[in-house]
């Protein structure tokens, strides 16, 4: 990632961007004892054009008796600087020990423009930066905006981006802010390696993840473009794959990425600790709900004794049991699986515990992020609606169905407190896939 800085407009821009001193230090002997007896209303302000005198005075907090001591003056000076409204702040002593606050206001931004951006629209970049037209110009804010723009490009796979802020002076203490962007080419993944995989080959694990190595057919998809969020998601895909195949203790301890300047791409390495492979040793059903026969849930179990431990089969069993319990009138029943490992025999004893959960109802279902997909298309994937008892299994099923639609890059359903303690709001956050 590269950053540049280019200036137009003379001395003012040079002073702003390259950090000319903005504070005149107030020494212990700088203000006489007569000045220490001044009140806030006796402070004289010079150089202000937009900021009101009373606003500047308000940053000086008097002590007992309404008098300003040295500490109050120092604190007022620091507070004025921290507002970001001023390019320079000085405190001087006038006749009779009067306190004179001299300020040089930061310019106002007349307009903000972007040059060279073809892949990301002006509107998106404008929404992401802190600097705003008709707002106060701040050198620190411009530097932060430069980093933010580069970060947006980085997330779209362009790590060779160069962002150069330019300042153009205008009359009446105004400036134009121009971000010149050299987008660079997309940065691809040149190699994917796995360390610690003994049960499965690297070739097999590459089929599990979404990130792919760059090849002659890469133009058909974007899987070879480096995306840190996708690499992190791949860690979970690898872990889930192992959990489906009996490795209950698996850990994907790291996903290491390194940029190779010679190959102009990223090298990705997944470090895996597989652990032992387990089979199902026994299956039991327990219920703390009165008059609920736990053993009647056996036919809804997707796991069997002697088979490889499979976390997806366990989760599917929980879902089926919880839905069946709801059908029988136990709307708030919660099924919690437990597992006791036998490290010597390499088996897992599965226990399905059925308990009464909190009595919670769905107050609303709020859908966010669907700019093209209509609400009814999303809501029809839910087997529950507003007013129904909250059922985690049905919520998980709806989330899975939405992901299977393949309309969305990401789907996440979470809960927020409702209007009372027994009400929750379902929040459906979506990120739609590009249809281009």
Per-residue pLDDT of the chain (436 residues; tens, 9 = 90+): 555 545 444 433 333 343 434 444 443 334 444 444 467 677 888 878 778 888 888 888 887 777 777 788 888 888 888 887 887 888 887 777 678 888 888 888 989 999 999 889 999 899 889 999 888 888 888 999 999 999 888 877 788 889 999 999 888 888 899 999 998 877 889 999 999 999 999 999 999 999 988 766 655 566 678 888 889 999 999 999 999 999 999 999 999 998 888 888 889 999 999 999 999 999 999 999 998 999 999 999 999 999 999 999 999 999 999 999 988 888 889 999 999 999 999 999 999 999 998 889 999 999 998 888 889 999 999 998 999 999 888 898 899 999 888 888 889 999 999 999 889 999 999 988 765 4
Which of 324, 250, 238, 242 has its CA nearest to residue 287?
Answer: 324
Q: Are residues 6 and 60 in the same domain?
A: no
Per-residue confidence (pLDDT) for residue 8, from 0 to 100: 46
Domain-ending residue, one of 239, 273, 307: 273
Q: Are residues 6 and 153 in the same domain?
A: yes
Residue 24 in any domain: the answer is: no
Q: Are residues 6 and 152 in the same domain?
A: yes
Residue 37 in any domain: the answer is: yes
Residue 58 in any domain: the answer is: yes
Residue 228 in any domain: the answer is: yes
Per-residue confidence (pLDDT) for residue 222, from 0 to 100: 65
φ, ψ of residue 91 in degrees (nearest 5): -120, 125
Cβ-count burial of 319 within 10 angstroms (0-12 exposed, 13-18 middle, 19+ buried)? buried
Per-residue confidence (pLDDT) for residue 256, from 0 to 100: 93
Per-residue confidence (pLDDT) for residue 40, from 0 to 100: 66
* 3-state DSSP percent of the chain in helix, strand and coil, to 5: 30, 30, 40
Q: Are residues 379 and 339 in the same domain?
A: no
**H/E element, 397:** helix 392-404
| CA–CA dist 46, 92 (Å, integer) | 11
Residue 15 in any domain: the answer is: no
Q: Are residues 115 and 151 in the same domain?
A: yes
Q: Are residues 99 and 112 in the same domain?
A: no
Per-residue confidence (pLDDT) for residue 216, from 0 to 100: 63
Domain-ending residue, one of 105, 136, 153: 105
Nearest 5°: CA angle at 249, between 246 and 250?
85
Q: Are residues 165 and 45 in the same domain?
A: no
Q: Which two tokens stand for residue 241?
A: 């794959």
Spacing of C-alpha 133 from chain mean position: 26
> Based on C-alpha coordinates, what's the Rg of the chain?
32
Cβ-count burial of 265 within 10 angstroms (0-12 exposed, 13-18 middle, 19+ buried)? buried
Are 412 and 419 a contacting pair, CB within 8 Å?
no
CATH of residue 231's domain is: 3.10.20.310
| CA–CA dist 76, 58 (Å, integer) | 8
| CA–CA dist 210, 183 (Å, integer) | 25
Q: Which two tokens stand for residue 319?
A: 């879902």
Are 254 and 195 a contacting pair, CB within 8 Å?
no
Length of the chain: 436
Q: Are residues 175 and 202 in the same domain?
A: no
Q: Are residues 124 and 6 in the same domain?
A: yes
Q: Are residues 167 and 215 in the same domain?
A: no
Residue 16 in any domain: the answer is: no
Residue 21 in any domain: the answer is: no
Q: Which two tokens stand for residue 384?
A: 């529950």
Count other C-beta atoms under 10 Å from residue 28's C-beta. 6
Domain membership of residue 428 as a residue range: 361-432
Q: Are residues 410 and 428 in the same domain?
A: yes
Domain-ending residue, one of 322, 356, 390: 356
Q: Are residues 239 and 198 in the same domain?
A: yes
Residue 20 in any domain: the answer is: no
Cβ-count burial of 199 within 10 angstroms (0-12 exposed, 13-18 middle, 19+ buried)? middle
Query: Following DSSP, what letter does each residue of 27-96 receive, concatenated?
Result: -TTTS-TTGGG--GGG-EEES-SSS-HHHHHTT----GGG---HHHHHHHHHHHHHTS-EEEEEEEE-GG
Query: Following DSSP, what letter does each residue of 332-366 receive, concatenated?
Result: TEEEEEEEEEETTTTEEEEEEEEEE----EEEEEE
**H/E element, 2:** strand 2-3
Overall domain count for the chain = 5
| CA–CA dist 93, 96 (Å, integer) | 8
Where b means 16+ CB within 10 Å and e means fewer, 214-241 reads beeebeeebbbbbbeebbeebbeebbeb
Q: What is the pTM of this model?
A: 0.61
């Amino acid at each position: 990632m590269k950053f540049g800085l280019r200036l137009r407009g003379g001395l003012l821009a040079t002073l702003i961007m390259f950090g000319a001193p903005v504070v005149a230090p107030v020494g212990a002997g700088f203000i006489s004892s007569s000045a220490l007896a001044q009140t806030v209303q006796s402070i004289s302000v010079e150089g202000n054009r937009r900021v009101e005198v009373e606003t500047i005075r308000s940053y000086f907090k008097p002590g007992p008796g309404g008098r300003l001591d040295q500490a109050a003056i120092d604190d007022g000076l620091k507070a004025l600087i921290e507002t970001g409204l001023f390019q320079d702040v000085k405190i001087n002593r006038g006749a009779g020990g009067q306190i004179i606050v001299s300020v040089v206001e930061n310019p106002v931004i007349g307009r903000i423009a972007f040059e060279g951006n073809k892949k990301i629209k002006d509107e998106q970049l404008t929404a992401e930066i802190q600097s705003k037209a008709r707002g106060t110009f701040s050198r620190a804010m411009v530097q932060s905006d430069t980093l933010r723009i580069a970060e947006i490009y980085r997330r779209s796979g362009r790590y060779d981006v160069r962002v150069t802020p330019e300042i153009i002076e205008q009359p009446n203490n105004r400036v134009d802010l121009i971000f010149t962007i050299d987008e660079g080419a997309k940065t691809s993944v040149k190699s994917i390696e796995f360390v610690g995989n003994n049960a499965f080959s690297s070739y097999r694990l590459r089929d599990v993840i979404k990130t792919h190595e760059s090849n002659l057919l890469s133009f058909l998809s974007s899987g070879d473009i480096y995306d840190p969020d996708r690499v992190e998601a791949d860690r979970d895909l690898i872990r889930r794959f192992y959990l489906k195949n009996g490795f209950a203790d698996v850990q994907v301890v790291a996903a290491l990425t390194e940029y190779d300047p010679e190959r102009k791409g990223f090298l990705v390495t997944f470090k895996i600790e597989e652990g032992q492979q387990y089979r199902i040793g026994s299956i039991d059903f327990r219920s703390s709900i009165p008059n609920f026969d736990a053993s009647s849930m056996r036919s809804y179990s997707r796991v069997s004794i002697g088979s490889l431990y499979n976390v997806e089969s366990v989760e599917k069993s929980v879902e089926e049991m919880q839905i069946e319990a709801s059908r029988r009138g136990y709307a708030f029943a919660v099924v919690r699986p437990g597992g006791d490992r036998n490290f010597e025999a390499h088996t897992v004893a599965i226990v399905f515990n059925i308990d009464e959960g909190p009595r919670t109802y769905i107050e609303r279902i709020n859908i966010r992020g669907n700019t093209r997909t209509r609400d009814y298309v999303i809501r029809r994937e839910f087997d529950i609606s507003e007013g129904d008892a909250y059922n985690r299994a049905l919520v998980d099923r709806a989330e899975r169905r939405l992901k299977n639609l393949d309309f969305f890059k990401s789907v996440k359903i979470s809960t927020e407190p409702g209007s009372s303690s027994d009400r929750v709001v379902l929040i459906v956050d979506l990120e739609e896939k590009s249809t281009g």
